[in-house]
Amino acid sequence: MRFLSIALLCLLAQPAGAQLQQPGPALATRERLQAELARLEHDGKGRAQAALIRTRLESGDFQAGDRILLRVEGEQQLSDTFTVGPAPDLPLPRLGAVPLGGVLRSELQGRLEGHLGRYLREPVVQAWPLIRILVEGDVSRPGFYSIAPERPLADVITTAGGLTQRAKATAIRVERGGATIWGGSALLDAMGRGYSIDQLNLRAGDRVLVPARSDFGKTAGIIGALMAIPVAIYTITKIH
């Protein structure tokens, strides 16, 4: 149990590998995604991550069922939460649907401003996308959750009630269409660094799976070690 706890702590604290860089802006711009894709292709590593970025650049971020919280100054009918349609597009009262094919989350506000500007004079627009993520396995409240893409993936698990005593913390993975897109040391490293949903290139319908561990004692040791980190840091700080 002690060995597993120490191993997990070392894994979370290790420097980022070739496939992971330090977190950048909460919502990735097209230029940043293009630069990251070029880096991955040049290094010849991180093929799975490169494929996720390529999909974003080609298809955009928005999927049917995504929700967008919209605020338009002086327009009560346009200040609400709207659901993305299958096109994908965003149907708005009186103004028709805003096409969202190929649009990144970081480009959403500009796209809405351009569309509304054809009907309204100098519209003041604020938009916040929400992504439906499925959390299953050994969490307290499994199910679908609408999460802001700026939030760390760890927050998704917290929103689902956190890990149970049965949870195998080192085996958490993210799936899309039945295939694992994030898992193992790469995912643990990213979570330890506070990577957001957007920085992990996730989208609506992705599934966060927390497997169970048959040995409860090992899980309890891991969770206990993680909870002890802030105390250890505080103690070291006071000593120095």
pTM: 0.73
Distance CA 7, CA 2 (A): 9
Q: For residue 137, what pLDDT is reported?
A: 95
Domain boundaries along the sequence of the chain = 2-19+130-231
User: 125 phi and psi, to 5 degrees?
Assistant: -120, 135
Question: Given this model, what pLDDT does residue 213 score?
Answer: 84
CA proximity to 136, closest of 110, 163, 112: 163
| Residue pLDDT, tens place only, 98-121 | 999 999 999 999 999 999 999 999
Q: Give the Cα-Cα-Cα angle 12, 16, 22 (nearest 5 degrees).
A: 110
Q: What is the pLDDT of residue 240?
A: 45
* pLDDT interval class at 53 (50, 70, 90): very high
pLDDT in tens, 220-229: 555 555 555 4
Band of residue 4 on the pLDDT scale cut at 50, 70, 90 = very low
pLDDT of 236:
39
Task: Using pLDDT thresholds of 50, 70 and 90, give the confidence band for residue 75.
Answer: very high
Determine the Cα–Cα distance for residues 186 and 111; give it in Å rounded to an integer.
33
Q: In terms of Cα–Cα distance, which of 11, 31, 53 is closest to 190? A: 11
At the topology level, CATH places domain 2-19+130-231 in: Outer membrane lipoprotein wza fold like (3.10.560)
Computed from CA positions of residues 10, 40, 23, 153, in that sequence, does the dihedral angle turn out positive or negative? negative
